[in-house]
Amino acid sequence: MKHARILLATVLPSLLAACGGGGGGGGGGGGGPTSSNFGGPVPNTFSGSVTFNGAPMSGVGVTAFETNTNSTLALATTDANGVYRFSGLSTGGNVAMNLQFFPSKSGYAFYPTASTSPVAAAYLWNASPDNWYANTGLAVTRAQYNGQYSNPGGGSPLIFTVINYLSVSGNSVTGANFNAYDGSNPLVSLAQSGQKISYGAGDDASFKKGVVWPVTRFVDNQDGSVTDKLTGLVWLKNAGCLAPAHWSAAVAQANQLANGACGLSDASKAGQWRLPNLAELESVVDVSAVNPAIAAGNPFQNVSGGNYWTSSVYFGGQEGTANAWAIRMSDGRYMNDSNLNVIASSTNAVWAVRDGSSAGAVKLQATGAYIPFAGGDDGSVQSGAPLPFPRMRNNGNGTVTDTATGLIWLRKADCINQTWAGALAAVNSLGNGQCGLTDGSTPGIWRMPNRKEMQSLADRGLNNHADFFDTSWTSGGNPGVNSMGAAFSNFIQFQYYWTSSTDTANAAEAWTVFSCDFGVYDIAKSSTGYTLAVR
């Protein structure tokens, strides 16, 4: 059977470009848990359920989007048991019908938990890095919907997480399920940053927000590996064993690591180790420590103060990216400089990590990167708790809730623009009636986000965070989701946003997040910067 072929443009494409040829599908229908019949010689059915906190969720709209015609094929709505169903899915025509399914309901975010029947037998249509679609069964993938949604300034894509499905003969599916999130049931919890000394009222060490670290965080397994009890990750004990390399070679070195190499006697096999993604390498950074920026008393050996590669490319949702993220382990600064993180030519240190046998005190979130650039990289593995969609819930009172972390953020992102000390004071006194707030909050409830909290907003599938956060979308062609409001209001581009975490290597500087790439950089506290507020 001739399959549809999805091709990508080189810069911020719509994944859902027309494939050419009809898929045997027709126009919409919907209403109730079962859509109208589309016709076709060997029709398939597609069904699943939506749950919230383990209970069935009724009234959720589910869109069946046909990538062949780049349009909504049909809609269904979950019934009292949380069940939706599409029937009569055509398998005829010279090009198989490819569909993407996603749910929507005001105030909620969703993520697939598909228990597929049958299981995908293949997950590659196109050559890397376009290998996101299953030939049979299902695949959970992130997909850009620029072509179906318009926004005033163009800008960043609207990224859904969808269940992708190819309607070939005998490929009826059950168990295409989704979970719903509203912030009361967050997917991740954030750890403390490690800051111990307070440098100003209301700063990181004043609140010490986040999950407390285990008394003994890093445990030497006596087999060449170290377990982080905070995250559950297992790290190579000798952080200087693998040779510094260009990025692709660094990814390959980590993937090939196994028992017998670098002092390992853990029975590990090649393919179990990997180069850490940006969230994983960030997780070992202790902002109170320098040279290296890892908690004192750790059992690691040969940790360099130089730059360590991560497996996360600079823009994880864009082909042709020339750079990958690295972290300077002397102090924890993210590296994005002209000759220090170029995939093809920069040489950086290599450290390996693998999943542990038990969970840690926190669950790290996925970075959001989803294009594979090398086998075993961030886009291939996508390690961590997934990012639900639409992630931010507008509470209608000047605040937004992050459904991934449960944190509540000030929506007006340009209200506070001062020096670090001035911004701390402004946030400490923030309350109802200021910065667009009508939430009844009082001074002392809000705080400046620490480094870990500010980084938690990142989605490495984006090319420009500020642009995405500040953009609204509308659609006249997709009745499943007609509009999507901006996550924040007036998120300023090309500006540093303060965190409450001081750079211990230089207490006159604080860690900031650059609004567009969401890199962590140290800036003089006397500078003027923006800040968000969180609670």
Q: pLDDT band at residue 154, thresholds of 50, 70 and 90?
A: low
Q: pLDDT band at residue 503, thresholds of 50, 70 and 90?
A: very high
pLDDT at 407 over 90: yes
Residue pair 140/76 in contact (Cβ under 8 Å)? The answer is no
Q: Among 292-301, 330-339, 514-523, where is mean pLDDT lowest?
A: 330-339
Task: Name the residue among 149, 177, 153 with its Cα closest to residue 14.
Answer: 149
pLDDT score recorded for residue 155: 61
pLDDT score recorded for residue 28: 29
**Cα 430 to Cα 313, 314, 440, 457, distances in angstroms:** 37, 35, 11, 21
pLDDT at 494 over 80: yes
Assess whether the previous peptide bond of 292 is cis (omega < 30° from 0).
yes
pLDDT score recorded for residue 321: 85
SS3 52: strand
pLDDT score recorded for residue 390: 92
Query: CB-based burial of residue 455 (10 Å sphere; 0-12 exposed, 13-18 middle, 19+ buried)?
Result: buried
**Cα 95 to Cα 39, 144, 339, 409, 507, distances in angstroms:** 15, 22, 46, 46, 62
Q: pLDDT band at residue 165, thresholds of 50, 70 and 90?
A: confident
Task: Name the residue among 108, 52, 53, 104 with its Cα closest to residue 394.
Answer: 108
* Average pLDDT score over residue span 461-489: 84
Angle at 365 between CA 123 and CA 137, to 5 degrees: 20
The identity of residue 81, as a single letter, is N
Residue pair 390/109 in contact (Cβ under 8 Å)? The answer is yes
Residues 278-327 have pLDDT tens digits of 999 999 999 999 999 999 899 999 999 999 999 999 987 777 789 999 99
**CB contact set of 297 (below 8 Å; sequence gap of 6+):** 218
pLDDT score recorded for residue 124: 41
User: How many Cβ atoms sit within 10 Å of the Cβ of residue 202?
Assistant: 20
Top-confidence residue, 103 or 370: 103
Task: Name the residue among 134, 86, 136 with its Cα closest to residue 480.
Answer: 86
Angle at 248 between CA 243 and CA 254, to 5 degrees: 50
pLDDT at 208 over 70: yes
Q: Rounded to two decimals, what is the model's pTM?
A: 0.89
Q: How far is CA 531 from the centre of its chain?
A: 22
pLDDT score recorded for residue 146: 60
Residues 37-95 have pLDDT tens digits of 444 456 899 999 999 999 999 999 999 998 888 888 999 999 999 999 999 998 876 77
Give me the residue label for tokens 């060490």: 205
pLDDT score recorded for residue 16: 25
- What is the CB-side half-sphere exposure of residue 66 using CA atoms within 13 A? 24
Give the CA-trace dihedral at 161, 367, 339, 466, to 10 degrees. Answer: 70
Which run of H or E residues covers position 144?
strand 138-144
pLDDT at 198 over 60: yes
* Average pLDDT score over residue span 456-481: 85
pLDDT score recorded for residue 8: 24
- Give me Rg for the CA atoms of the chain: 24
Which run of H or E residues covers position 225?
strand 225-228
Q: How far is CA 373 from the centre of its chain?
A: 17
User: How many residues does this entry show for the chain?
Assistant: 535
**Cα 362 to Cα 191, 253, 341, distances in angstroms:** 7, 28, 29
Which run of H or E residues covers position 380?
helix 378-381
pLDDT score recorded for residue 116: 53
pLDDT score recorded for residue 41: 56
The identity of residue 442, as a single letter, is T
